[in-house]
Structure 1
Amino acid sequence: MVDTLEMGGTERMSINIAAVMAEKGYQSHLIVSRRTGGMSAHIPNAVQVHFLNKKAFYDFAAFIRLTQLKKKYQPNILHAHSTSIYWAVALKIISGKFLLVWHDHFGLSDQLDKFPRKEMLPLLRWTDKIICVNDKLSTYWKSLLPKRKKDIATIKNFPFLIMGSKSERGLFTFLHLANFRSQKNHMNLLEATKILAQKRNDFKILMVGEFVEESIKEQVIATINTDDLQDLVEVHGPENEVSAILNSCQAGILSSDSEGLPVALLEYGLAGLPVVCTDVGDCSKVISSSELGILVSPKDPVALAEGMNTIISDAQKAKSMGEKLKAKIFKEYGGEGFFQKYVSLLQVL
């Protein structure tokens, strides 16, 4: 019998949790719904991976493959990430006898008034536990499910990377590690780049992420070409060697309009990078003082450009920020802390 079955493709946290469970000696499997993605290279050998090759929401053949996996491995726990909960609930209705955990990563936690997601409520009656990446989400679900408060917990995201040695690029490079989707606001960063370029051109922006919304990628590339930013901005797709990319850059940056708790921010810290980040979601809990990084208001490219300029101009201050943030990430956002809270919530392992 399998201890844990992660269902959530190759997004960072599904991989990270599967890796930690395997590291702790539990039999850990990962179900990939649609595609492998750029993070697939980071799945440890101890984690068994299964591909559903799902082509659409109503892909009956893929769902049959899921039921066959459940029958074969008989998991104690099915841990469903984000929208994977739909199929996880269907599986439980058809052939239950496992603990169903839903992990809510909702990136628009700052805009729950606009996106209340009450359509999730019928699904959640089939879940046993709900894990939220920040307190805003936990508070929200507890308000809608007052009789189930004990089943809902905030457990912070955590990074899980093996960092190699530094091999920095010659030109000062900011890494923007974010999938190409609207909430990440790549255009905000491009506007800040244009503003900073009026003062200096001794820097580069490296955009790395999955092309989740093709229209966003096309808009970014068109803007780079229209505004002659080709020498300042590089666009990459998903990157297999995230550790190597982190080690090659001098700073991390996030220009999002909304976040839960971005794993990219934790990974920047793990790599000891100084950070410029918009003040959204739980970013201010990570960057809790000016000694740990620079927080700016969302949708403010001028402030973002000023923060970037500060990082480039003051090497000593930037180095100190990176070192202090790294120490905080190791202390407060490690996999061990997640595991202990996870076990406490489930009380079944």
Structure 2
Amino acid sequence: MRIVQIIDSLEVGGAERMAINFANALSNEINFSGLVATRKEGDLKSKIENNVNYFFLNRKSTVDINAVFRLKAYCKKNDVEILQPHSSSYFIAILVKVLYPKIQIIWHDHNGLSQFLSSQKWVLLKISSFFFKGIIAVNHQLKNWAIKELNCKNVIYLPNFTKNENSYAKETKLRGNEGKRITCLANLRDQKNHFLLLRVAKKLQITNPDWTFHLVGKDFEDKYSKKLKTSISSNQLEKSVYLYGTRNDIVNILNQTDIAILTSKSEGLPVSLLEYGLNKMAVIVTKVGEIPLIIEDGVNGFSIPSESDELFYESLITLIEKPALRVNFGNAFYRTIVNNNSESAIIREYINWLQEI
């Protein structure tokens, strides 16, 4: 097989990480594994392994004809059989297929809000799906949605996966007191609902002021970001909640962390959750997307309703007061990820599915 992953950028994000994870994993399993970043490179470029054929397309617009022809030429030169566009990058794959019909397209849908696409984007996706050979959905809800709404019968659910990094940088030094840090790995987007985190932080500031929150993720410098920063300031949380922006040394950050959280109001299957598990973190997460299939409340972490401030706070207090429970949760969570979200098992299922279709 000769497969190329396509992603809009290599900035830090879940879909971007999975595009790289697939390219890296497949490089050890198939004849040719490539990765194309269409619009922008980024911090994740350093995560691409040497045996992956990497190409930066430098696409300038949605319909960049020169970029389409460059991608077609890349596919012909490398005798590519399958393009696997992730999330919104399916459109350029469609344009290449029009020019080069032998190419097959496998769309990888990561978007936990796909059901709420604008009407214009929805029509484009519905038409584009006629060209898909198959669809990969990262949660069961998206799988059912694709089967019902799109024009492609070959749909499979494949959970996200990650793997341990054998070596990692040590660039970030978290603020706050050692042994009393709570980290949230999530880009600053409305879907991630950081305002729940701030409400909990305000409660914790009163009862446990020596504990601090550390928000790691891309800052888009938009209305959501400005509102979040204003709320931190107006609630006098500057010494309780710290923003770090995009960071590459996630393992190093988690090694400085005592509790990891996600406050999302919608999700697919967040890659950050898998990273928490591989690093044996005690977690508190919201019951959205596929998260309840990973975290069993009270067994390998706490899983709570997405708008329950009080329950989130109470769970946090429990973990703060019970260090042994944090260790037990972390070990149980690690076993869950190794057993259910291992790279080898998912890649094997993926290749078998491709051979069948």
**Contact 2:296–2:302 (CA<8 Å) still a contact in 1?**
no
Question: TM-score, normalised to structure 1's length?
Answer: 0.91
Deviates more, 1:21-30 or 1:264-273: 21-30
Question: Aligned partners of 2:178 and 2:66: how far apart in 1?
Answer: 50
- Superposed, which structure 2 residues align to 1:268-347 within 5 Å? 268-347=276-355
SS of alignment partner, residue 341 of structure 1: helix
2:37 match: 32
Displacement of 1:74: 2.5
- Superposed, which structure 2 residues align to 1:1-349 within 5 Å? 3-8=2-7, 9-10=9-10, 11-24=16-29, 26-108=31-113, 112=115, 118-119=122-123, 120-145=125-150, 148-149=152-153, 151-162=154-165, 170-212=178-220, 214-347=222-355
Q: Which runs of 5+ in 1 are unaligned?
A: none
Displacement of 1:307: 2.0
Distance 1:35 1:72, change over 3 A: same
**Contact 2:135–2:152 (CA<8 Å) still a contact in 1?**
no
Deviation string for 1:175-207 (max 9, x for gaps)? 211111110111221111112212111212111
SS of alignment partner, residue 298 of structure 2: coil
Distance 1:62 1:160, change over 3 A: farther
Distance 1:278 1:60, change over 3 A: same
**Contact 1:195–1:302 (CA<8 Å) still a contact in 2?**
no
**Contact 2:183–2:261 (CA<8 Å) still a contact in 1?**
yes
Question: TM-score, normalised to structure 2's length?
Answer: 0.89
Give the letter for the 1:140 counterpart.
Answer: W
Displacement of 1:213: 6.0
**Contact 1:156–1:333 (CA<8 Å) still a contact in 2?**
yes
Question: Aligned partners of 2:31 and 2:63: how far apart in 1?
Answer: 32
Deviation string for 1:55-85 (max 9, x for gaps)? 4323344334323322322212111100001
Give the letter for the 2:58 counterpart.
Answer: N
Give the letter for the 2:163 counterpart.
Answer: F
Deviation string for 1:80-124 (max 9, x for gaps)? 100001111111112121221000111226xx3787874221101
Give the letter for the 2:239 counterpart.
Answer: D
Deviates more, 1:279-288 or 1:25-34: 25-34
Give the letter for the 2:323 counterpart.
Answer: A
Question: Aligned partners of 1:59 and 1:114: how far apart in 2?
Answer: 23
**Contact 1:19–1:47 (CA<8 Å) still a contact in 2?**
yes
**Contact 1:174–1:205 (CA<8 Å) still a contact in 2?**
yes
- Percent pairwise identity: 29
Question: Aligned partners of 2:118 and 2:283: how far apart in 1?
Answer: 29
Question: Aligned partners of 2:147 and 2:68: how far apart in 1?
Answer: 31
Displacement of 1:41: 2.3
2:13 match: none
- Measured on the aligned residues, the alpha-carbon RMSD in Å equals 2.4
Question: Aligned partners of 2:251 and 2:284: how far apart in 1?
Answer: 19
**Contact 1:163–1:271 (CA<8 Å) still a contact in 2?**
no
Give the letter for the 2:346 counterpart.
Answer: F
Deviates more, 1:237-246 or 1:290-299: 237-246
Q: Which runs of 5+ in 2 are unaligned?
A: 11-15
Deviates more, 1:55-64 or 1:305-314: 55-64
Displacement of 1:303: 2.2
Distance 1:31 1:224, change over 3 A: same
Distance 1:213 1:18, change over 3 A: farther
